[in-house]
Amino acid sequence: MSYLHNKKFLITGGTGSVGQVLTARLLESGAETVRILSRDEYKQYRMEQKFSESRRRLRFLLGDVRDKERLQRATEGIDYVFHLAALKHVPACEYNPYEAVKTNVLGTQNIIEASIEQGVRAVLYTSSDKAAGPTNTMGASKLLAERLIIAANETKGPREIKFLSVRFGNVLNSSGSVIPLFKRQIRRGGPVTVTNPNMTRFFMSAERAVDLILEALSHSEGGECYVLKMPVLSIGVLAESIIKMSALDIPVKEIGLRPGEKMFEELMSGEESERTLETPSMFIVLPFYRSVEQGLKLYKNAKKTEAGVYSSQLETPLTPEQTIDLLKPLVHFKKREV
């Protein structure tokens, strides 16, 4: 973490759960300045209160990644950009596809251009499991943004900047995840609604997501997409586990898949696995222009993967007991709430 000391950082979409954990980690590592760019002034206010002891090293910038002029000012003097801002709600992107394109695709290109113009050292883009074999607008827009990042690293010319991506599953207990929804439904007396109890998803904590971000940044040569190995949860078991933790008798109602949703998610496609290296904790998907042989020389502790498609359908989900153990630090019910 020494490479983070006395550096200046920009986090787009930094008021989210991952952004706040990343901010804390950067401040602990001796960052000189952390700039948070987002559109929500109330979330910025709440975050400023949370990090009040580090206020002199934090800067809160209201703005949108769609606004390139704003990004040029935001990236001025910055060493590293963490691009977390995105439209992530699958049905909303399905109903408003061009809005997803403007934020997820054009916004990413704006980040790329502003970072090159301002002499940033590295840009790390946070993608989604829905970008692997996409079947919805959100996933397709995130995949296209990944490809923009890969292309930027190849076409940057002599500039000393690198571009890389990390691909996440669902972040446990984030504002857009099902866990807060299930908790609200339990507090109202139910029912807890699940799309399909047999649906499976990759899940990770915000802390583990930040581990991946910082590990990827420290090892990257540029152009890669890093995929963390993470546990798989069944949506039905997840719902039943949270109900059990509430100690209430709450019914579960199946409501069917929403527009654009899949029963199972992929974090790596079969095509990508042909150019992917593997370490004990992650996969490294190499850019198209870098061979596996070249990759093995660059990443000494990696090997060629034999995983093939990395799908939640092919992984063994956690048991109910394991699921509850995973949720214990995150899910709490006060007696007066239940």
Q: Which amino acids are annotated catalytic?
A: 130
Bridge partners, residue 278, by sequence:
283, 303
Nearest to 4 by CA among 16, 20, 22: 22
Nearest to 10 by CA among 153, 26, 54, 144: 26
Nearest to 126 by CA among 91, 171, 76, 159: 171
Three-class SS of 122-147: EEEEEEEHHHCCCCCHHHHHHHHHHH
CA geometry: angle 146, 292, 277, nearest 5 deg: 65
Instruction: Find the radius of gyration of the CA atoms of the chain.
Output: 20
How many Cα atoms occupy the beta-carbon half-sphere of 83 within 13 Å?
Answer: 38
What is the rounded distance in angstroms from the CA atom of residue 134 to the CA atom of residue 177?
19
CB 9 within 8 A of CB 29: no
Is the backbone of residue 78 left (phi > 0), alpha (psi -120 to 50) or beta? Answer: beta
